[in-house]
Amino acid sequence: MVAETIVDIQDLNGVGPVTASKLREAGYDSISSLAIAPIRELIEKAGLENSVAQKISKAARETIQTDFVTAKQLYERRQNLQRLSFASSNLDKLLGGGLETQAITEFVGEFGAGKSQICMKLSVNVQLPEKDGGLNGKALFIDTEGTFAAQRVYQMTKAMGLDPEKILDGIIYSRVYNSDHQILTVDHAFKICQEEKIKLLVVDSVLSHFRGEYIGRESLSERQQRLNSHLHKLLRIAQALNLAVVITNQVQANPQAFFGDPTRPAGGNILAHASTHRVMLKKASQGLRVAKIIDSPYLPESETYFQITEKGVEDAVPKNKRDD
């Protein structure tokens, strides 16, 4: 985890009061947020001169010593990794023991597949103590489609025997209306995540504004560039603060598929590379849902069943696989 020794960005070499206020306005309000920001971004977002940005970035990195780590430190960082339970042993097992911190997990699926339900459920679970599979922290829920439903969270918590008011208080919600707004919200998320002890950051869904705003081939590369920097910012927050990031994504037709799945995740390579684990969700018969790992650095390609219930999501066994 990032140790903050110098407390204020103004204590950094090269940061005067004017620069400090420019940086704060752009969302950089801690040494660690500066240390992990690309220099190009400091120039663009805070309006700094190249040389100033270079100097500040270097000072911030030196302060928290991010430049070189030993493999032992890497190993220790990995030891800090925590797992958030879905309260479904099927889904926990699929993800190698629960949703991982320091990573982006992407849920992909068509409309109604259960993506938002999973996001809401995780926002509840994250607040549970660690002994109950939670991370004893709050959730930050960035909603791009307006589908977050407080009453549904209320229903889940009631059914789980929790105090709904307390859980609802532990979900910090932001409705974002366009991709600029979404990017800005994540730019400012570092501070709120640190202050509020956020352990889960949700973006549901990550691509819809980008897809709606950038239409046509000529704008595709600009879209992908902005998306790329947005996703990397999410990943850096996950790693610096040891929290879990969940993003959701839709599917699009895959014209190249002769065999197998005629759909694939939207967003192309940029999204494929940024997500640590990708999970495809599908509706199945008997009201069940299938979750399948489609891309992960170490999880096997496997699938499992779950269902959407009053409590949120729960294990399910299809009839033909039951013993009875």
Q: Rule CB under 5 A: say whether 57 interacts with Mg ion.
A: no
Q: Report whether 293 contacts 91 (CB < 8 A).
A: no
Structure tokens at 226: 């902005």
Q: Is 137 in the site for ligand ADP (CB under 6 A)?
A: no
Helix, strand, coil % in the chain, rounded to nearest 5: 45, 20, 35
Interacting span for ligand ADP (CB under 6 A) from 38-46, 84-92, 112-120, 216-224: 112-120
* Binding-site size, ligand ADP (CB under 6 A): 14
- Contact letters for Mg ion, residues 201-220 (x by CB under 5 A): --------------------
Smallest distance, ligand ADP to C-beta of residue 202, A: 11
**206-229 b/e with 16+ CB inside 10 Å = b?**
bbbbbbeebeeeeeeeebbebbeb
Q: What minimum distance in Å lies between the beta carbon of 200 and Mg ion?
A: 16
The burial of 242, by beta-carbon neighbours within 10 Å (0-12 exposed, 13-18 middle, 19 or more buried), is given as middle
The binder of 310, among Mg ion, ligand ADP, none, by C-beta within 5 to 8 A per type, is ligand ADP
Of 46, 113, 244, 293, the residue at the interface with ligand ADP (CB under 6 A) is 113
Is residue 13 helix, strand or coil? coil
Span near ligand ADP by CB under 6 A; candidates 35-43, 266-274, 297-305, 306-314 = 306-314
Give the DSSP H or E segment for 172: strand 171-175
Q: Is 284 in the site for ligand ADP (CB under 6 A)?
A: no
Nearer to ligand ADP by Cβ, of 114 and 265: the residue is 114
CB 140 within 8 Å of CB 194: no
88-127 binders of Mg ion (CB under 5 A) = 115-116
> How many Cβ atoms from other residues are within 10 Å of residue 46's Cβ?
22
Q: Identify residue 54 by its one-letter amino acid code.
A: Q
Among positions 115, 211, 230, 282, the unique one binding ligand ADP when judged by CB under 6 A: 115
Closer Cβ to Mg ion, 65 or 178, answer by number? 178
Among 21, 66, 89, 147, contact with Mg ion (rule: CB under 5 A) = 147
249 in contact with Mg ion (CB under 5 A): no
Q: Report the alpha-carbon distance of residue 198 to residue 190 in Å, rounded.
A: 10
Residues contributing to the site for Mg ion (CB under 5 A): 115-116, 147
